[in-house]
Amino acid sequence: MKRMSTDVLVIGGGSTGAGVAWDAALRGLRVILVEKRDLTHGTTGRYHGLLHSGGRYAVKDPQSAIECIEENRILRRTHAHCIEDTGGFFVVTPEDEGDYPDRFKAACAKVGIPCEEIPLKEAFRREPLLNPRISRVFEVPDGSADSFLATHVTAQAARQAGAQILIYHEVIDLLTEGSDGDRRVVGARVCDVVHGEEVRIDAAITVNAGGAWAGKIAAMAGVPVNVIPGKGVMVAVNHRLVNTVINRCKMPADGDILVPVHTVAIIGTTDERVSDPEMLTIEPWEVDLMLREGDKLVPGLSRSRILRAWAGVRPLYQEGYTGESRDATRALALLDHRQRDGVSGFLTITGGKWTTFRLMAEKTVDKVCEQLGVERPCLTATTPVPGAEQGHYWLGHRLHEVEEARLQGDLICECELVTRAMVEQAVANNPTVTLDDLRRDVRLGMGPCQGGFCTFRAAGILHQLRLHAQEAPPQTEVDGGLPWNVAYLQSPRHSVQAKPAALNPKVSPLDNPNLLLRDFLQERWRGLTPVLWGRQLKQERLNELIYLTIMNVDHLPEDGEASPLTEFWRFDAVAGAKEDGR
Amino acid sequence: MAPISWHSVDLTLDECIKCNICTSHCPVSAVTDLFPGPKYVGPQAQRFRESGQPRSPDHSVDYCSGCRVCNEVCPTGVRIAELNARARAQIVAEKGLPLRNRLLGRNELLGKLGSLAPALANFGLHNSFSRLVAEKVMGIARKAPLPTWSTSGTFRDWLKRTRDRRLKSNKKVVYFHGCATMYYEPFIGKAAVVVLEHNGYEVIVPEQNCCGLPLLSNGEFDAARNYHRNNVGRLAGYARAGLPIVGTSTSCTLTLKEEAPELLDYHDEPATTLKLGTYDIFEWLRELYEVGELRTDFQPLPLKLPYHAPCQQRAHRIGKPALELMALIPELELAESHARCCGIAGTYGYKVEKYQIAMDVGAELFEFVKAQGQDVRYTACDSETCRWQLEHGTALPSRHPIEILAAAYGLYDLERREVVAGKR
Amino acid sequence: MIVDLLVIGAGLAGLIAALRAAEAGLRVKLIAKGMGALYWTPGTIDVLGYLGAEARAVERPWERIDDLPERHPYRIVGARRAQEALDWFRACVAELGLDYGGREDGGNAHTPSPAGAWRPSYLLPAGQRAGDVKDGRPMVIVGFQGMRDFYPHLIARNLEAQGQAARAAVLPWSVLSERRDRNSVQLAEALDEPTTQQRLIDALRLVVKPGERIGLPAILGREAHSQVLTALTQALNAAVFEIATLPPSVPGVRLATALRRSLERRGVRVEIGMEAIGFHAQDGMIEFVETATSARPLKHRAKAFLLATGGVLGGGFDSNPSGRFWETIFDLPLTTPQDRRQWFRPLFLDPQGHPALRGGVAVNDAFQPIDAAGNVVYANLWAAGGLLAHADPIAERSLEGIAIVSAVAAVEAIKAGNMVHV
């Protein structure tokens, strides 16, 4: 068995885990991060993309609100290019009666959130599709965030500071020493799921940043952590109906927020307590509820083209709490298991929200340092991640760069303007095992046609790259030797200028393009079925024509093989079988 | 199709299924890389545009000629050409407009000015020196087929002059002549008037503005709105009274019916009344024919006539009524063009950077005409700028189908482009 | 101007129906919202490739018709009449310069897909016949550097995995065009030029080995296709075949163009860009269909109407989140489940297809739409093609077969029904 050792082992490649790795590495600690799939595969990659101003929590949860506005200001500097400065409106619809708006305004003032009531005329000029019956509008510094990119660049920053990031490494067991009352977590046994190899990692401190999966991980050390998995359903509309984040000015509830992220607008969310974080089935009523509530913000939203729906699971945590997940606190929770359970060398960080991931990391690493007996200040609040010098994201930037560099002929994903060079750079610069990994890197397949054209193209390109790498393996040593540069993943222009990195033949041993194709088609299908009607169904029928009539991909050779994504479609098939049996 | 509460053309981007049919038919992207095709600049780029962006993200939309072939072939109903026009207006609003485009957008003003001293104006415009200067200074292509001002007075001059001879009748029709007929080609209007009168209709010619299309296609939406408001004010009353408003310029009638209301989001009651009361002249004559009220006393017209239905005509989606009615003329041998576009696309081909593109686009049509043989004397086309382009590309004179019809009625001299003396 | 037959839809079914009717002397007009589905399909005539959950492809389609659902269009028509329709189609397009043919043994040919699977087709255009995997000779799949819709290594890999000897070769893009941003149709237009053809021949000479069949993306000329094919075959002394790839698909475009021109030569008005938005019926007879124009709806009067708008993809059906699925012009009864939860199976590639996409317009033996009780909805309305119920032309690989067979059958029924004067 391969054996590694480190000061800090971080479990979980979401925003929090990447943040912890970054923070700890900046403080000079040796860090290994393990993630069972791709970075942001869990909840971080399945949220609506809101950079909170804190307004949402100002009335209900002032502590969370203060954390949000402070972190909002910090992330705008450190992760500038992962954020679009959309601004946000809190709007009062005819259904939002009562004194909440005035309490909201007062609460914002109290916790220090800039909040200004703006004339309706001005609001409708900026957002002409808003419900004309809206009676008051407050403006706050909300934004939208690319959580895929932010987490990838945070991981890159961690790596540059010396951390090792191991994706597709799943924790099989936590290693403990000692007996009850004086137990200690000393690391973990992990499985490299791509190569099927086990690795033992010895660690002075293990940080459980497993998000919705944190309870399962803690259980491996015999520690009960009652994470409340709150499922949230989100629905994306084909284009940006609004360019400002729109919040209902009322106590947080289902379907009360509309976020413009990249080329889409996302309406969210529900909050449903579920038993299993893997259980992400979307029911028709949940989609219908989102559309109905969306119509209250932008009338007609329900009739526009719906792109896709998905669900994420919030890792809510409240000690001893058994109620509804909507009412559980959004505050972060750092559990010191030495204090709490008598198990030392083990911390769990959970709760919170994307906007506060850096703060969560800071508090966690403070505790790590305390337990390791070192005194080093946190640097993340003042250290920009790679690429931040590009400034804030703006909607037109890809189109602008494609136009300037005249890259129209090289577009692979035409909906989201992903060029061939972007695909090649993304594959070369960080491990890519499935096309879904590539989607998170460059937004491949995230537009209206949902992979109709680009799935085939990407599979073809990856296959060619793999062949090339096998014929001429790179000279450099594998681990750490290859560049990990994801700071410019979103930039078509940069991809052209950058020297293409050599592909590491060992990082991505999945050589079966047919599985890449099939798994990605199925992955897209999962998010489509809840919203397939009208125009999106027409699109899907064209995709069927492409993949059945033209490609015949349901009759490719080697159909029986599995990839790390296959579990999802197996899961779908099983869920469907259950449904059929009912 | 489920109704959409938002009437803006922008929302039709949602209809796109990325199938590439438009790009495969686009006559402009077929000949130049400067235009990446309708799907790309239309529904695709639209998802990356918003008002108030730090800068306009794209510029290649400026190379859309607005010919609307994409709309015609799109199987899902994306209003691509209109999306492009609106995107261009956004760029103009942000970046301003060169003098050249301002000038080309104002053909009514140009028409009026030139008509003050048409001979002088023609000389001033059409000598090679001033064309060279116009190209160098303003970017108006030296070889582009600019029109000549009428030296025999405007269309309205003729109406005044022949007031006593005009038919009075209780059957009335309103005529929208457009700027080209008014200042450059009054004979088109004369042919229309005699055809309508021949069928027993009194022709009313109210005061009217430029329809605003040149402004719309150059992205000057505010100015276009003023023009349209004036026309609605002057013409909607006739439509409300049940009088048809017919036009010989397919682009003017298209603008009154659809382009101005849609692009400008101008949908009040008078504008809609005007829209519903406006006809292409052949569209209306076909309705007469279908109820048996069109006179068919045509004389034989032994001609071989290649006919090109211009893009602006096809954008009406009314079929080809001119072709159907000309087919009634004895001995007239029609050859229908299936060329996509003549290239000129309004004022597109006048611009120095687009002149060659326009000529390359038109090659398909020019070759079609050439293939009809040596004995072709005229071509026919409903749109003025397309006729000028056709003449420029084929060296053959081009006629409006209404001139053909007038000639077949024996009311019009096709060669000299004059109403036959003694006839009304 | 009243016509005998108004055909709605410009896909293969609409074009074939119009041609068959015009050939029989009917006055025909064809209207369509836009260009039809032939622009997307590989130009082959697929009759029946797969039957439900059977993993193996269908060998001889006509022998398996009885295994289809009872009211499947093929079973309504019967194998003999269906084959006659296809024979007529072959003869028709042969006159238009398109040489379609099948295997002599009456079985499906197997030609490589752009993913390297083989596609079961009944008739192939001349340009694809040399690609039949059953032939066994080795192949070289030739692509072009940077062509986004064609990956020769992927095709060769999968062909090899299925026992077909194949290797990949890549030529520089500059062989085809100096312009970077070109789709298949535009590249085919470039190959109409003799100089481009010569460049391609010269480049192919350097990579092709003796005895190999040459597989290329389907870009071998748009107007000059047969000449390009002959030139390549002769110059290289090798069998050459095309692999149709992502839309727009050139072999489909060639077929659509030829059929449309043939119609126009026969005096059939083909009006593209006309979206049917309404109709008027009296006493169970349709009087006219209305299309959208720049202002008022335009009426199209006819004695008989043939609906060939395709299913979901062609725009013939629409659906909404309430679970309603409807036919867009006449609101004809559909067999589709009116409950969203029953529309799809969990796996995209489920061999059974999806219930929402198997539903459609049920017809009687004369291809007239009927309601659930079996009554004809309108006495002068017929239907053909992708909108027919009890078939999923994409899952079955029966798209073109159903289009041709049902269009011919519907026109025969119209003629037989004395609805129009012949």
Chain A residue with CA closest to B59: the answer is: A403
Identify the closest residue of chain A to C117 by CA–CA distance. Answer: A556
Residues C344 and C319 in one domain: yes
Structural domain contains residue C66: yes
- Whole-number pLDDT of residue C259: 98
Cβ distance A554 to C349 less than 8 Å, yes or no, reads: yes
Whether C286 has a pLDDT exceeding 80, the answer reads: yes
Rg, Å, chain B Cα set: 21
In chain B, where the domains are located: 11-95, 99-138, 155-289, 303-419
For B365-377, how does the pLDDT look when each residue is reduced to its tens digit (9 = 90+)?
A: 999 999 999 999 9
pLDDT of residue C337: 95
At C110, is the pLDDT very low, low, confident or very high (cuts 50, 70, 90)? very high
> Do C196 and C284 reside in the same domain of the chain?
no
Query: Chains meeting B at 3+ CB pairs closer than 8 A?
Result: A, C
Spell out the CATH class of B303-419. Answer: alpha beta
Interchain contact, A396 vs B53, CB within 8 Å: yes
Does residue C152 share a domain with residue C30? no
Contact A546, A493 (CB under 8 A): no
With CB atoms and an 8 Å threshold, state whether B315 touches C275: no
Neighbours of A110 (CB within 10 A): 13
Q: Which residues constitute the domain of residue C220? A: 138-238
Q: What is the pLDDT of residue A320?
A: 76
Are C83 and C149 found together in one domain? no
DSSP B361-418: HHHHHHHHHHHT-TT---EEES-HHHHHHHHHHHSS-EE-HHHHHHHHTT-EETTTTE
Q: Please indicate, yes or no, if residue C204 is contained in any of the structural domains.
A: yes
Same domain for C293 and C399? yes
Summarised one tens digit per residue, pLDDT across range B238-276 is 999 999 999 999 999 999 999 999 999 899 999 999 999
Domain stops at, among C210, C238, C266? C238
Instruction: Name the closest residue on chain C to residue A572, using Cα atoms.
Output: C346
How do residues A297-334 score in pLDDT, each as one tens digit?
Answer: 999 999 999 999 999 998 888 877 777 777 777 778 99
Query: pLDDT category, A501, cuts 50, 70, 90?
Result: low
Q: What is the mean pLDDT of residues B412-419?
A: 96
Q: What are phi and psi of C111, to 5 degrees?
A: -115, 150
C165 and C234 together in one domain: yes
My answer on whether C270 and C339 are in the same domain is: yes
Query: Measured between CB atoms, which of C40, C272, C291 is closest to B73?
Result: C272
pLDDT the model gives residue A280? 78
A276 pLDDT more than 90? no
Give how far Cα A99 sits from Cα of A96, A250, A251, Å.
9, 9, 11
pLDDT at B76 over 60: yes
CB pair distance less than 8 Å for C295 and B314 = no
How much of chain C, in percent, has pLDDT values that exceed 90? 96
Looking at per-residue confidence, does C388 or A489 come out higher?
A: C388
The whole-angstrom separation of Cα A281 and Cα A573 is: 12
Q: What is the CATH number of the domain that holds C208?
A: 3.40.50
* Chain B residues with CB-CB distance to A447 below 8 A: 47
Distance (Å) from the alpha carbon of A121 to chain B's nearest alpha carbon: 16
Which of B12, B44, B56, B74 should be substituted to probe chain A, the one whose Cβ sees the most A Cβ atoms within 10 Å? B44
Across residues C5-21, what is the average pLDDT? 98
Does the pLDDT of residue B3 top 50, yes or no? no
Same domain for C262 and C402?
yes
pLDDT at A393 over 80: yes
Whether residues B33 and C180 touch (CB distance < 8 A) is answered with yes
A573 with C394: Cβ contact below 8 A: no
* Cα C366 to the center of its chain, rounded Å: 22
Question: Would residue C118 count as lying in a domain?
Answer: no
Q: How far is B94 from chain A (nearest CA, A)?
A: 15
pLDDT, chain B, mean? 93
Per-residue pLDDT tens digits for A430-476:
778 889 999 999 999 999 999 999 999 999 999 998 888 877 765 55
Clarify whether residues C66 and C178 are in a common domain. no
pLDDT digit string, tens, across residues B131-165 = 988 898 889 999 999 999 999 999 999 999 999 99
Q: Closest residue of B to A240, CA-based?
A: B47
Q: Report pLDDT for A574.
A: 47
- Rounded to 10 degrees, what is the CA torsion of A72, A77, A78, A83? 60
* Interchain CB contact of A86 with B (< 8 Å): no
- Are residue C270 and residue C233 in the same domain, yes or no? no
Mean pLDDT of C250-268: 96
Q: What is the pLDDT of residues C339-361, one digit of tens each?
A: 999 999 999 999 999 999 999 99
- CA–CA separation, B81 vs B64, rounded Å? 8
* Confidence check: pLDDT of C42 > 60: yes
Tell me what pLDDT residue B7 has. Answer: 45
Indicate if the pLDDT at residue B424 is higher than 50. no
Position B51: which residue type?
S
Rounded Cα distance, B100 and B347, in Å:
10
Tell me whether residue C353 is in a domain: yes
Tell me whether residues B14 and A305 touch, CB distance under 8 A. Answer: yes
- Architecture per CATH, domain B11-95, reads as Orthogonal Bundle (1.10)
Residues C177, C54 within the same domain? no
pLDDT tens digits, A135-159: 999 999 999 999 999 999 999 999 9
> How far is Cα A251 from Cα A104, in angstroms, rounded to an integer?
9
Assess if residue C183 is contained within a domain. Answer: yes
**Chain B interface, best mutation among C181, C294, C296, by max B CB count within 10 A:** C294
Total beta-carbon pairs less than 8 A apart between chain A and chain C: 161
Please name the chains neighbouring C, where neighbouring means 3+ C-beta pairs under 8 angstroms: A, B
Q: Are residues C211 and C301 in the same domain?
A: no
What CATH number does residue C373 fall under? 3.50.50.60
Q: Is residue C59 part of a domain?
A: yes
Give tens-digit pLDDT for C227-248.
Answer: 999 999 999 999 999 999 999 9
Q: Kindly state the average pLDDT of the residues A162-189.
A: 93
- Does an H or E element contain A455, and which? helix A454-471
How far A496 CA sits from the closest chain C CA (Å)? 14
In a domain, C275, yes or no: yes
Instruction: Give the C-alpha separation, C90 to C95, whole Å.
Output: 9
| % of chain A at pLDDT higher than 70 | 92
**Per-residue model confidence as pLDDT tens digits over B217-227:** 888 999 999 99
N- to C-terminal Cα separation, chain B: 49
Looking at CATH, the fold of the domain delimited by B155-289 is given as Glutathione S-transferase Yfyf (Class Pi); Chain A, domain 2 (1.20.1050)
DSSP A487: T
Which domains, ranges and CATH numbers included, belong to chain A?
2-43+148-228+329-382 (3.50.50.60), 83-144+230-314 (3.30.9.10), 396-581 (no CATH)
Count of domains forming chain C: 2
Mutation test of the interface with chain A: which of B4, B50, B78, choosing the one with the most A Cβ atoms within 10 A? B50
